[in-house]
Chains A and B, each alone.
Chain A
Amino acid sequence: MTNSPPLLQVCDVVKDFGGVRAVDHCSVEIETGGITGLIGPNGAGKTTLFNLVSGAIAPTSGRILFQGRRIEGMMMHETFKLGLVRTFQIPREMKRMTVLENLMLVPAPQVGERVWASWMMPWRVAREEASIERQALEVLELVNLAHLTNEYAGNLSGGQKKLLELARTLMAEPKMVLLDEPAAGVNRTLLQSLAATILQASVDRDITFVIIEHDIRLVMNLCDPIIVMANGTVISHGTPTQVQQDPQVLEAYLGGAVSDSS
C-alpha cells in the first residue's frame, strides 16, 4: 500500500469566497483503501474541501490529483466518470422521482441515455434497464430501503434520504466516495447498520471512503486514518489514537469530548 501513489492528493489548495478564505493552503494525501474520517469544528473547511475535490467548485489556487491525474476545475460529472463520487450534507434527492428511479439514474454510461435509443433500439434499452433495475434493488436491500422502492424520494424522512444518498454512490461503482455527514439524522439503530454497510462496501467493493462526520464515536470506531481540519487547513493526520493525543487537536476542537467517549 505504501508503494503505490496516493489515490487522492490535495496540494497546497486555497479557496477564497470574496474576503473569506475557506480553505487555506491545505495539503492532504489519501491512500487507496480504507475509510478516512475528516473531522473538525464548524467552519473548518471540510465541506468546501469536498466541493473542491468533487468539482462542484474550482480552487483559487493549488492542485488536486486523483490517481495521479489533475482534476481541479473539472465538472462534477467529469470527476464522477473517473470514479470519484460524493454525497451532500443536505440530501439532494430527486423529489418527484421514485427511490428506484433515483438509483437507476446513476449507472453510466447507459445506452438508453441517447435520445434516439428508445426509437432505434428499444429492446437493447429494455434489457439494459432490467439489469440496472436488478442492481438497484440489490443496493436498496443493502441500505434497508427496499420497502420504499416505489415511493417518491421527496416523501422519505431525513434519515432515509441520507441512506438514499449512500445508495446513490454505491450505484456508481466508484473508486472513491466522499460522504458528507452520512449519519446526521439517522437513528441509533439504523446507525449501526449504516456503519456496517459502509465497512462492507469498502471491503467487498474496493471503495475508498472519506467521511465527514460530527458523531465522534462513529468516526473513532469506523475510520482509520483520521484527518483533522481547522481554519481551512489540516492540523492533524493519523490513527484515531494519535489524533486523540495530538495536543493541537485537543486545543482546536476535541477538548473533553475524547476523554468522554474513550
Chain B
Amino acid sequence: MDIISYAAGFAIMAGIYAVFSLGLNIHWGATGLFNIGIAGFFALGAYTAALLTTQPPDPMLFEDFTFGGNWSEIGFLDLGIDLWFFLGIAAAAIACGIIALAIGYVTLRLRDDYLAIATLGIAETVRLFFLNEKWVANGSKGLYRIPKFLGDLVSPENYDYIYLGVVLAVLVALFIAVELALKSPWGRVLRAIREDEVAAEASGKNVFNFKLQAFILGAVIMGIGGALFAHNVRFLAPITFDPLLATFVIWAMLMVGGSGNNRGAILGAFAVWGIWTGTQFLPGIFEDPNFRFFMIGALIVTVILIRPGGILGEERRMAQTVKD
C-alpha cells in the first residue's frame, strides 16, 4: 500500500472531524451547551451539499428522489471550475444555521439536560427523515453519484492531495475565525454563561441571546464539516449518520484534545481518528469494531484521569497590561 496516499486519506477525514470538533468546542467547550445531536447537523450539511451537486435522479439506476443536481445547465455558472462545490458548502452552512435558530429558539430556554434530550431527538429525527422520505434523498439506497471537487479535471490518483488542500484550507480558516471569536469579549460572555448563567444575567448579559448565537455558529461550522464529508466519501446514506460515529466520536475528540481549547479540539480529532483507523490493521480480534471503540473509551478514561481538562485544556487568559 502506498503509505503517502493512505496518509492523505487519513488526514482528510481527521481534518473533517476536526471541523466538527471546532463546532462542538463552541457549543460545549465555550458555552456549556450539551449538544449530543451533532449527527443531525452533520447529516443536514452533508445532504444539502450533496443534493445541490449530485447528478440528477436517473430512474434506470432506481433513483427515485425528486430534486438534485445538474446545475451546469445554468450557463453562466458553467465556468469550467466547480463553483457548485462552494455554493454547496455555503448552502449547507446556511441550512444548519436556520435549523439551529429554530431548534435553539425553542430549546435554549431549557436547562442543560433538556437541551441534551432535545438535540439527541432531533438528530434521530433528521436521520429517520432521510431514511423514510425516499423522495428527498433516495432513502436507504442513498446518494452515490456525488461529484468530486473540480469534477474530472483532476486525475483520480491525485484527487486526495487536492482535496486534502481544500479541507486543510477550510480548517485553518475556521480555526482562525473561532479562535478570534472565543478570545474576544463575545467568547468571554459565552464562558461566563458556561460558568454560571444566573451570574452572567446579573452581569447584564442577555443569556438566551448569546446562547442562541453560539448554538447557531457551532451548527454552521458542523454544516460545513458535513459538506466537506459529502464530497470526500461521495456516498451518503442514513446509516452514515449513526450516533456512534457521527456524535459520540466527536465528543471523544473534544474531551481528549481539551475542551475549551481550539488547538486541543483539532489535536483530539487527529488523535482519536488515528486510533480508530490505526486499530483496523491490528490482527484478529483487535480488528473488531467493538474492540476499537473500547480503545477510544480507554483513551478517554486515561486522559480524564491524568489530565482532566484534556491533553491541551483551556488556557488561562492573563492581564494584558504589565502592572508596576
Chain A residues packing against B (C-beta within 8 Å): 54, 56, 75-77, 80-81, 85-88, 92-98, 100-102, 104-106, 108, 110-115, 117-119, 122, 125, 128-130, 133-134, 137, 146, 149-150, 152, 168, 172
Contacts and interface: CB of A to CB of B under 8 A. Distances in A.
Contact of A80 (B177, B183, B203): B203
Contacts of B158: none
Nearest to B191: A97
B186 A80 contact: no
Nearest to B187: A118
Contact of A150 (B186, B207, B319): B319
Nearest to A102: B192
B198 A56 contact: yes
Contact of A106 (B191, B204, B206, B323): B204
Given A75-B201, A105-B192, A118 B320 contact: no
A85 B318 CA distance: 26
Contacts of B201: 75-77
A80 B204 contact: yes
Chain B interface SS verdict (over half): helix
7 contacts: A92-B199, A94-B191, A94-B200, A118-B184, A125-B185, A137-B319, A146-B323
A199 to B, nearest CB: 23
B192 A97 contact: yes
Contacts of B321: 130, 133-134, 137
A115 B30 CA distance: 13
Nearest to B202: A76
A106 B204 CA distance: 7
Nearest to B316: A98
Contacts of A81: 204
Contacts of A85: 202, 204
Contacts of B180: 118-119, 122
A106 B189 CA distance: 9
Given A76-B198, A88-B198, A98-B318, 15 more contacts: A54-B202, A56-B202, A80-B202, A80-B203, A94-B195, A97-B188, A101-B188, A101-B317, A105-B200, A112-B184, A117-B184, A117-B186, A129-B320, A134-B321, A152-B316
A94 B192 contact: yes
B288 interface: no
Contacts of A110: 185
B196 interface: yes
B317 A113 contact: no
Nearest to A146: B323
A87 B316 CA distance: 25
Interface in B293-324: 314, 316-321, 323
Most chain-A Cβ atoms within 10 A of its Cβ — which of B189, B196, B199, B202? B202
A96 B205 CA distance: 18
A92 B202 contact: yes
Q: How large is the interface on B (under 10, 10 to 19, 20 to 34, 35 or more residues)?
A: 20 to 34
Given A94-B199, A115-B181, A77 B207 contact: yes
B4 to A, nearest CB: 36
B167 to A, nearest CB: 21
Contacts of A114: 186
A229 B206 CA distance: 32
Given A95-B195, A149-B323, A118 B202 contact: no
B217 interface: yes
Contacts of A100: 319
Most chain-A Cβ atoms within 10 A of its Cβ — which of B185, B192, B206? B185
Given A106-B203, A134-B321, A137-B321, A118 B183 contact: yes
Nearest to B198: A92
Contacts of A80: 202-204
Contact of B191 (A96, A112, A168): A96
A134 B322 CA distance: 11
Contacts of B196: 92-95
Contacts of A111: 185
B220 to A, nearest CB: 11
A53 to B, nearest CB: 12
B213 interface: yes
B319 A96 contact: no
A150 B180 CA distance: 21
A137 B204 CA distance: 20
Contacts of B195: 93-97
Nearest to B183: A118
A77 B203 CA distance: 7
A97 B199 CA distance: 13
A94 B196 CA distance: 6
A50 to B, nearest CB: 11
A118 B181 contact: yes
A76 B202 CA distance: 6
A111 B189 CA distance: 12
A113 B210 CA distance: 9
B204 A113 contact: no
A77 B319 contact: no
A155 B189 CA distance: 20
A93 B203 CA distance: 11
B79 to A, nearest CB: 28
Contact of A108 (B177, B198, B204): B204
B202 A88 contact: yes
A88 B199 contact: yes
Interface string B153-184: 00000000000000000000000010011011
